[in-house]
Structure 1
Amino acid sequence: MDCMKLAIQEVENLIQGESFLVKDLFKGYEWNRLTIGDRRSLGALFLHEVKYGELKERIEVGLKSSANQQQYIKK
Structure 2
Amino acid sequence: MPDVNELLNIAIKETENLNQGEVFLVRDLFKGYEWNRISRSERLLLGTLFLNYVNTSRGSIQAIEKTSSGQQKYKINVR
**What range is the shorter-chain TM-score in?**
over 0.9
TM-score, L = length of structure 1: 0.94
Which amino acid is 1:28 matched to? Answer: G
Q: Distance in 2 between matches of 1:73 and 1:34?
A: 23
1:19 aligned partner: 23
How far apart, CA to CA, are the structure 2 residues paired with 1:2 and 1:43? 13
In the comparison of the two structures, how many residue pairs are matched? 73
RMSD of aligned alpha carbons: 0.7
Give the aligned partner of residue 73 of structure 1: 75
Q: How does the TM-score come out when normalised to structure 2?
A: 0.89
1:8-62 Cα distance to aligned partner (Å, 9 max, x none): 0100000000000000000001100000000000000000000003xx3210011
Residue 66 of structure 1: CA displacement?
A: 1.1
User: Any unmatched runs of 5+ in structure 1?
Assistant: none
Identity of aligned residues (%): 48
